[in-house]
Chains A and B, each alone.
Chain A
Amino acid sequence: MTGSPQPDFRTRLQDWLPKLVLAPSFAVTIFFVYGFILFTVILSFTGSKMLPLWKFVGLSNYSKLWALENWNTAIVNIGIFAGLYITICMGVGLMLAIFLDQKIRGEGMLRPIYLYPMALSFIVTGTAWKWFLDPGIGLEHILQSWGWTSFHFTWIKDGDFAIYCIVIAAVWQTSGFVMSMFLAGLRGIDNEILKAAQIDGASTPQLYRRIVIPLLRPAFMSAFVILAHLSVKSYDLVIALTGGGPGRDTELPATFMYSYTFTRNQMGVGASSAVIMLMTVAAIMVPYIYAELKEKA
């Protein structure tokens, strides 16, 4: 930093130092994020199989992709999964937050119980739910051995219902975290507004519907962004819970991309599916990031 007798050099160095400190991180981001995105986009226009090959085939990977039954299953599944996961997490999270905000006994004990699943890996969550939902030893077996012999719960083995098992496990993992976001929002609301509404004769449900919930808009936004981003990324939970099965009935874009790229040797098709995933996420995230940056101008 020092060493040079010239004061001029030192001041110049001080001017440059901040940028020098930031430069490695920025360079790494440009290379490993944006360079890699470009690489994958280009790859999606090539006929790569097991290894990257620079033979261009136009849009044929994309047309191949949309003609594949597995990909269409994955698209339907991500729609079902993301829709239910986001809605239920927000519903449960909001309800628990409002209930917990009623001066409830044992709040200090309940909150960590709601939150702890967020600390676990999806692989752990998947392992726990896989065996709990397994008809042979889990819920079905338990209730039958307690005397409810006609009880059946075989969703995880049923191609039409297995995706809902993934929703159950994912909601279990994240809804407590969403609750704590809403609770923080509730605790941040200005008391004066609520008192004024109460004086005007608003009932408790009205108070929540008309005033409190609209005021929670920022918390809804954050929760939506986090949940949407988690649901597009969800790969491990499917792997641990169903392995994509039965058959390929719980295929999601994330598992599709992995299997086509690394086990089925259709790297071009895999790359094109990754590009579609990125575009979906970007459509949600770019406006959010833009707003975030503008707000703090």
Chain B
Amino acid sequence: MSAVAQESAAGTGRAARAGIQLVLVLFALFYLLPLYVMGVNSFKPLSEITGGNMMALPQVWTLEAWGAAWSTAQIGVEPTGLRPYFLNSILMVVPAVAISTILGALNGYVLTKWRFRGDKWVFGLMLFSCFIPFQIVLIPMAVTLGKLGLAGSVPGLVLVHVVYGLGFTTLYFRNYYAAFPTELVRAAQIDGAGFFRIFWRILLPVSGPIAVVSVIWQFTNIWNDFLFGASFGGTSQPMTVALNNLVQSSTGVKEYNVHFAGAILAALPTLVVYIVAGRYFVRGLMAGSVKG
């Protein structure tokens, strides 16, 4: 509790406090509204949405829309549902997150504990790469993936996400390791421990908090990515692209209930991660990485 809270708690009137509480609750409702709309309507038969009210609870609860979204809905030209695309996303996310986090940890270790001339330039160049608008790399990336024979494949997407995630993971680990006492590393060096041994035995055991930040950040960014998936996904499109194809399809009746069920399916993995580990994410992010 900060002093601001304590002092102003005493100084603020009862009515003002009630007003504040009301505003906070109203905003909570605003944030929950779209989730409520998606959730409620995904359990209705279509006729209840088009003929009824989006805010109303279902009169008939049904899992039909969920089944359709998962396995039978028309995605593009194939009636496959979202299932194969969900699998594509998993196959893309897991290696991309693992590789970029491990490399980021090693880079952060080198940049803080094995400094060399020009290391700041190396870091500066990697840091700037976090913030480029990806439009600037789309055309050469398409050419390169074609040349490598990785166009339209999951390994191609893994490569893309590792390359453009490295800047962030390096930033996180570098700022975190910068606060770790270098004397401990020097002492271990004098005792004869080598580069990897020091990393493995001294740095890695204390890296938990920042590893959580790096993994959550990479997981949400890569799972939620649309631009790269749409540009380079080919026949291995990720979940976001498939969801967009489902929702934007112009043929036939708009099956709102299926769209909502699909949207929740696409959101589920990142939502679970935030609910389980969101607290550690914000805490770690604030403690180490984003400073003004």
A residues with CB within 8 A of B: 1, 14, 17-19, 21-22, 24-26, 28-30, 32-37, 39-40, 43, 52, 92, 95-96, 99-105, 110, 112-125, 127-132, 137-138, 141-142, 145-146, 172, 176, 180-181, 184, 186-187, 189, 191, 194-195, 198, 203-204, 207-208, 212, 217-222, 226, 229, 232-233, 235-236, 239-240, 243, 253-254, 257-258, 261-262, 267, 270-271, 273-275, 277-278, 281-282, 285-286, 289-290, 292-293, 295-296
Contacts and interface: CB of A to CB of B under 8 A. Distances in A.
Contact of B8 (A113, A204, A278): A204
Contacts of A176: 31
B34 A236 contact: no
A270 B142 CA distance: 14
B133 A14 contact: no
A222 B291 contact: yes
Contact of A40 (B9, B129, B140): B140
B90 interface: no
Nearest to A257: B135
B28 A25 contact: no
A261 B11 contact: no
B93 interface: no
Contacts of B220: 118-119
B30 interface: yes
B129 A292 contact: no
B37 A128 contact: yes
14 contacts: A19-B110, A25-B107, A32-B141, A33-B128, A119-B273, A123-B244, A124-B240, A127-B263, A129-B34, A137-B49, A142-B53, A187-B2, A189-B2, A274-B135
Contacts of A275: 136
Interface stretch (B59-67, B116-124, B206-214): B116-124
A226 B290 CA distance: 9
Contacts of A273: 135
Contact of B135 (A125, A240, A254): A254
Contact of B133 (A28, A101, A141, A232): A232
A274 B127 contact: no
Given A142-B53, A254-B227, A257-B135, 20 more contacts: A17-B196, A18-B110, A18-B114, A19-B110, A25-B103, A33-B163, A36-B144, A40-B139, A52-B143, A116-B35, A119-B267, A119-B273, A123-B244, A123-B263, A127-B243, A204-B7, A233-B134, A254-B133, A277-B133, A278-B132
B181 to A, nearest CB: 16
A202 to B, nearest CB: 10
Contact of A101 (B5, B106, B134): B5
B37 A132 contact: yes
Given A142-B55, A189-B4, A236 B127 contact: no
A270 to B, nearest CB: 7
Nearest to B272: A119
Contact of A116 (B5, B137, B275): B275
A219 B55 CA distance: 37
A249 B8 CA distance: 47
A110 B20 CA distance: 13
Nearest to B114: A18
Interface in B83-113: 103, 106-107, 110-111
A29 B27 contact: no
A35 B140 contact: yes
Contacts of A220: 292
Interface string B46-90: 000110111100000000000000000000000000000000000
A21 B194 CA distance: 13
Contacts of A125: 34
Interface string B205-234: 000000000000000100111110001000
Interface in B146-169: 163-164, 166-167
Contacts of A103: 1, 5-6, 9
Contacts of A34: 125
A63 B193 CA distance: 61
Nearest to A192: B3
Contacts of A141: 53-54
Contacts of A232: 133
A219 B125 CA distance: 24
A281 B27 CA distance: 31
A137 B50 contact: yes
B107 A222 contact: no
A267 B11 CA distance: 62
A272 B127 CA distance: 24
A293 B9 CA distance: 39
Lowest 8 CB-CB distances: which A-B pairs, in order?
A218-B292, A221-B292, A121-B224, A18-B114, A191-B3, A236-B226, A128-B34, A119-B274
A183 B111 CA distance: 31
Contacts of B8: 102, 204, 207
Nearest to A117: B31
Contacts of A194: 2-4, 7
B184 interface: no
A186 B271 CA distance: 26
B277 to A, nearest CB: 11
B271 A119 contact: yes
